[in-house]
C-alpha cells in the first residue's frame, strides 16, 4: 500500500481511534491489500464527540448506547431510565472511549 495514502487516511480519521493505536493501524494499513482499500474508504466510523453530545442530551433513554452499537446496554439503560441517573453520568466519561473501541473493532474486521 502507498504510504502517502495511508498517512492521508490516518490524518483524516485519527479522531475516531485511540492515539496509542495509530502507529499499529498505520503498520497494518501499509500491509493492506489494494482490493480492501476501497472497502475501507467506504466505512463510516462513530464520531466520539457526537456520541458524547448524544449521551449528554439523550443518555437517559439509552440512545447513546444504541448509537455505538451496544443494543443490549441501550435497552437496559432505556428500561432503567439511565440506571436512575447514575449510569447517565458514568457514560459521560466512558462513551467516547466506547465509540473509539467500536471503531477499532470495525477496522480490525476489515483488515483481517
Angle at 104 between CA 64 and CA 39, to 5 degrees: 105
pLDDT digits (tens, 9 = 90+) for 26-49: 999 999 888 888 888 889 999 999
Report d(CA 75, CA 85) in Å as an integer. 15
Model-level pTM?
0.87
- Check pLDDT > 80 for residue 83: yes
Angle at 11 between CA 8 and CA 14, to 5 degrees: 135
Range in 1-5, 7-11, 42-46, 69-73 the model is least confident about: 1-5
Name the burial class of residue 48, with classes exposed (0-12), middle (13-18) and buried (19+) by CB atoms within 10 angstroms of its CB. buried
Amino acid at each position: 500500500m502507498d504510504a502517502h495514502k495511508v498517512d492521508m487516511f490516518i490524518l483524516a480519521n485519527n479522531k475516531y481511534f485511540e492515539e496509542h493505536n495509530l502507529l499499529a493501524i498505520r503498520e497494518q494499513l501499509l500491509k493492506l491489500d489494494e482490493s480492501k482499500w476501497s472497502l475501507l474508504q467506504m466505512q463510516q466510523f462513530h464520531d466520539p464527540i457526537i456520541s458524547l453530545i448524544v449521551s449528554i442530551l439523550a443518555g437517559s433513554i439509552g440512545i447513546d448506547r444504541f448509537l455505538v452499537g451496544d443494543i443490549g446496554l441501550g435497552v437496559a439503560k432505556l428500561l432503567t431510565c439511565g440506571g436512575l441517573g447514575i449510569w447517565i453520568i458514568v457514560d459521560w466519561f466512558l462513551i467516547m472511549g466506547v465509540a473509539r473501541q467500536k471503531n477499532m473493532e470495525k477496522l480490525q474486521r476489515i483488515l483481517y
